[in-house]
Amino acid sequence: MPSPAPYKSTPVFDETTLPAALRREHRTKAGVWGVIRVLAGEVRFVVAGGAATILTPDRPGLVLPDQPHHVEPLGRMRLQVDFYDRAPDIGGVAAPTP
């Protein structure tokens, strides 16, 4: 089965345009997966409980449905978030670990 296409994507944000709402804890809706795609630089991806991982252009981050999380720019960066209505089949996706 082919990988699903995102049903929605955010604009491309940089370290100055990344909305405050994404910098503080928030979550996707039930039944919605997110893929954080870093286009340049690095971003810290933190889930509730403090588990974190560093995302890069070669290492996107997977947000599970209803998973509390936030992102922190690590210097200059550009990112975009894609949203899916079923689990995306994407290689190299990082999920935070404790």
Condensed to tens digits (0 to 9), the pLDDT of residues 72-89 reads 999 999 999 999 999 887
pTM for this model (two decimals): 0.89
- Which DSSP string do the residues of the chain spell out, in sequence order? -PPPPPSEEPPPEETTTS-HHHHS-B-PPTT-EEEEEEEEEEEEEEETTS-EEEEBTTB-EEEPTT--EEEEEEEEEEEEEEEESS----TT-B--B-
What is the percent of the chain where pLDDT is above 90?
A: 79
Lowest mean pLDDT across 20-24, 62-66, 86-90: 86-90
pLDDT tens digits for 85-96? 998 877 655 555
Residue 83 · residue 8 · CB < 8 Å: yes
